[in-house]
């Protein structure tokens, strides 16, 4: 048994708009999810991962001992170092 629908151009456009919106939401969620599979993050990514500003993260590295790796001027922070750093400040 199959059911067929006849849609107006307006209805097709509305469906396309909603599908595109759903795709955009999925892509945005995936941007956050990109951190799941990587062990090392660039500084900006690490700030986003932690939900803090770049300056706050810089403060953590310069004044509170959050360890970073620098390769040819590019700074990386491991998620393991982030986890260890946060555990140091648990109450």
Convert the pLDDT of each residue in 20-48 to its tens digit. Answer: 888 777 766 665 555 556 789 999 999 98
Average pLDDT over residues 78-85: 94
Instruction: Give φ, ψ of 65 to 5 degrees.
Output: 90, 15
What residue spans define the domains of the chain? 8-37, 39-88
66 CB burial (10 A radius; 0-12, 13-18, 19+): buried
Higher-confidence residue of 21 and 86: namely 86
Average pLDDT over residues 61-70: 95
CATH number of 39-88, picked from 3.30.1490, 1.25.40, 1.10.3470, 1.10.10: 1.10.10
Which DSSP string corresponds to 30-68? Answer: HHHHGGGS-SEEEHHHHHHHHT--HHHHHHHHHHS----
Full-model pTM: 0.59
């Amino acid at each position: 048994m199959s059911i067929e629908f006849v849609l107006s151009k307006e209805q097709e456009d509305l469906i396309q708009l909603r599908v595109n919106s759903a795709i955009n939401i999925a892509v945005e969620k995936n941007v956050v999810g990109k951190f799941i599979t990587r062990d090392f993050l660039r500084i900006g990514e690490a700030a986003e991962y932690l939900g803090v500003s770049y300056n706050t993260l810089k403060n953590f590295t310069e004044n509170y001992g959050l360890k970073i790796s620098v390769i040819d001027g590019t700074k990386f922070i491991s998620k393991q170092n982030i986890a260890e750093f946060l555990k140091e400040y648990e109450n």
